[in-house]
Amino acid sequence: VLAPGEAATTIKMPVPPQDAGELLPGWRLALGFRDGDPLAEASARQARFYLWMGVGVVAIIGVLAVMVARYVAEQVRLARMKNELVSTVSHELKTPLASMRVLLDTLSAGRYRDEAQLRRYLHLATKENARLSQLIENFLVFSRLERGQQQFRFTELSPQELVRTALDALGEKLTGPSCRLNTQLAPDLPAIRGDADALATVLVNLLDNAYKYTNGEKHIAVRAYAEGEQVVFAVTDSGIGIAPDEQRRIFDRIYQVDQSLTRQRGGCGLGLSIVQSIVRAHGGAVEVTSEPGKGSTFRVRIPVANQNAQTVNR
């Protein structure tokens, strides 16, 4: 109740003072809050709540938009990769099949001079067949690795034996007249733990690349030596080499330095990505040192079977 002339300075009044009526002339009735204005505080609280809710919703929409954009980009990348893979693989399959057909047509039509030429043609057809098989094998291994369905059977392996298996798989390719192969296997190497077929695939891919990417007379060396708790397999060639900025990308799936479909050397750009996946599954690492025009060395490091491993020297 405000006396005549009294101002309501100490209280907040959401409702303006009203005259008390005829019985109390000059007096006024006021309704207000003594300590702050709870209504204003409540509305400020509400406003803050809506503001943060708005910020939260915008942030969630932002995060969702980024996730959707990433998902779409990944799908586009996969679709492009599939298309590239299909076109390179079909091209690679076509080449050996076409040369085998020409060779077999020639032979079945009897168009050869003597038995020596017949043998040469058959030998060429066998080579094309082997190339086709290796291509398909690589493709199947790649597909299993991608789907996480590659089963590794780990056993103790002799590094020397492994190198010999890989060299045998490549047959006469590396012992032909235009190729000098140098094999240096350190004696008393410790056993490694790994999948014999998968590790042979690793070495076959590296040796095949050393052969493919060396022009003219080829000098290829394969070495195996122990370093710390690892056995290192090194494949060196005297080939075309790899530019420094390409050296990391060559391990990517279907990456080829020369990406034109008309390139001469064959392959789908799967070999080194397979090598890397297999080596990583063995707890190892693969690295390359290379100088364009001089040659390359690929080193694969595989951990020894156990630290007190007995040496295997078969």
Applying CB under 6 A, the residues found at the interface with ligand ADP are 205, 209-210, 213, 237, 239-242, 250, 255-258, 267-273, 296
Paired sense of beta strands 295-303 and 28-33, if any:
unpaired
Nearer to ligand ADP by C-beta: 194 or 241?
A: 241
Q: How far is the CB of 264 from ligand ADP (least distance, A)?
A: 11
Q: How far is the CB of 170 from ligand ADP (least distance, A)?
A: 14
**For residues 229 and 262, what is the distance between their CA atoms, to the nearest angstrom?**
44
**For residues 184 and 187, what is the distance between their CA atoms, to the nearest angstrom?**
9
Give me the residue whose beta carbon is nearest to ligand ADP.
Answer: 267
Nearer to ligand ADP by C-beta: 107 or 221?
A: 221
What is the sign, positive or negative, of the torsion defined by CA atoms of 87, 88, 90, 95?
Answer: positive
Q: How far is the CB of 216 from ligand ADP (least distance, A)?
A: 14
Nearer to ligand ADP by C-beta: 195 or 237?
A: 237
Q: 7, exposed or middle or buried, with CB in 10 Å at 0-12, 13-18, 19+?
A: exposed
Q: What are phi and psi of 224, to 5 degrees?
A: -135, 125
Nearer to ligand ADP by C-beta: 158 or 276?
A: 276
**What residues have CB less than 8 Å from 42, skipping those under 6 apart?**
none
Nearer to ligand ADP by C-beta: 150 or 205?
A: 205
DSSP string, 182-219: EEEE-TTPBPEEE-HHHHHHHHHHHHHHHHHT--SSEE
Q: How far is the CB of 299 from ligand ADP (least distance, A)?
A: 12
Nearer to ligand ADP by C-beta: 119 or 263?
A: 263
Q: How far is the CB of 92 from ligand ADP (least distance, A)?
A: 8
Task: Give the closest residue to 88 by CA, choosing from 268, 270, 266.
Answer: 268
b/e sequence 52-79, b meaning 16+ C-beta within 10 Å: eeeeeeeeeeeeeeeeeeeeeeeeeeee
Q: How far is the CB of 73 from ligand ADP (least distance, A)?
A: 24
Nearer to ligand ADP by C-beta: 230 or 273?
A: 273
Chain-centroid distance, C-alpha 6: 83
Q: How far is the CB of 218 from ligand ADP (least distance, A)?
A: 11
Task: Give the closest residue to 177 by CA, choosing from 139, 144, 218, 121.
Answer: 218
Q: What residues pair up with 28 in beta bridges, in sequence order?
A: 2, 19
